[in-house]
Amino acid sequence: MLLDEKAVLVTGSGGGLGEGIARVCHREGATVVVADIRGNEAQRVAQSLGNRALAIECDVGHDADLDRLVAMSVGKFGRIDGLVNNAGVNFVKPFLETTSDDWDRVIRVDLRGAFFLTQKVCRQMLEQTPGGGSIVNIASVHTHAALPGSGPYDAAKWGLVGFGKSIAVELAAQDIRVNAISPGLLDTQIWQQIQAAAPDPAACSEYWKSNIPIERVIEPEEIGELAAFLLSDRSRAITGANIMADGGMTSQLISKEPYRSKPIEVN
């Protein structure tokens, strides 16, 4: 198994993408800390995993919660070998209407929390024997291209990639690796909200799938498979990377044509 005898901490894992990542890591042999601001949901996931899982209620925007999260994780499993910074809040609001409170809320959870939790976890990784470990930041295809109304969210996701590259270079010689995964459209609550907000859910689904070359949304466990690989010793040569896991979305120039063109040939 990829993560046998490794202790992995996954934030925002009381549902959605984080739950999918936690389940794959556990399946691959890791002991898993299920951390989420929704304590009951964290308990649900940890209990369903059974052995080798610990639920911890945590708001990544509060430093005291981050300290408690690291202390409880180490107290239970003795070390931390991997961290997945997945916790975050979504945000869509016109730029001209975005307030300083909006900005602070998104940055506090999506970027600041990940930065300082990574700092605390890296300190632990350097103290333990054997030392080192792997950090995976869950970014977004928004680190390649943007949608209107996503300014604070985009800033936070770009920030995850940026600080990750800096740490990757700084701590590489001490056997700490830092990488980012940038998922495309996922089959999570956000996808359900997008469809529910559209006047015609079926047309909405067709539109979005036309923008994804594999013609489907991505399952959380598919991102979990990539995260488990990056957390494992099989990815020892990979650090400072931002991997697009988007079904080809960011490789497609424009939406797929709703018709089939004839070949264009030059005589």
- pLDDT tens, residue by residue, 88-136: 998 889 999 999 999 999 999 999 999 999 999 999 999 999 999 999 9
Active site residue 153: yes
Owner of token pair 């995850």: 160
CA distance 247 to 19: 20
Structure confidence by residue, pLDDT tens digits, 227-244? 999 999 999 999 999 999
Domain ranges of the chain: 7-186+219-249
CATH 3.40.50.2300 assigned to domain 7-186+219-249? The reply is: no
Is the pTM for the entire model greater than 0.85?
A: yes
Cβ atoms 69, 61 nearer than 8 A: no
Rg over alpha carbons for the chain, rounded to the nearest Å, is: 19
Q: How far is CA 172 from CA 26, 133, 176, 226, in A?
A: 26, 10, 5, 20
**pLDDT score at 264:** 63
Q: Which amino acid is at 138?
A: I
Whether 257 has a pLDDT exceeding 80, the answer reads no
CA distance 143 to 153: 10
- Total length of the chain: 267
Whether 49 has a pLDDT exceeding 70, the answer reads yes
- For residue 255, is it left (φ>0), alpha (ψ between -120 and 50) or beta? beta
b/e per residue 138-150 (b: at least 16 CB within 10 A): bbbbbbbeeeebb
Structure confidence by residue, pLDDT tens digits, 145-192? 998 999 999 999 999 999 999 999 999 999 999 999 999 999 888 888
The catalytic residue among 91, 153, 163, 208 is 153
**pLDDT score at 204:** 87
Using pLDDT thresholds of 50, 70 and 90, give the confidence band for residue 59.
very high
Q: 3-state SS string over the chain?
A: CCCCCCEEEEECCCCHHHHHHHHHHHHCCCEEEEEECCHHHHHHHHHHHCCCEEEEECCCCCHHHHHHHHHHHHHHHCCCCEEEECCCCCCCCCHHHCCHHHHHHHHHHHHHHHHHHHHHHHHHHHHCCCCCEEEEEECCHHHCCCCCCCHHHHHHHHHHHHHHHHHHHHHHHHCEEEEEEEECCECCHHHHHHHHHCCCHHHHHHHHHHCCCCCCCECHHHHHHHHHHHHCHHHCCCCCCEEEECCCHHHCCCCCCCCCCCCCCCC
Whether 52 has a pLDDT exceeding 90, the answer reads yes
Look up residue 240 and give its two tokens.
């400072």
What count of Cα atoms within 13 Å lies in the side-chain half-sphere of residue 104?
Answer: 4
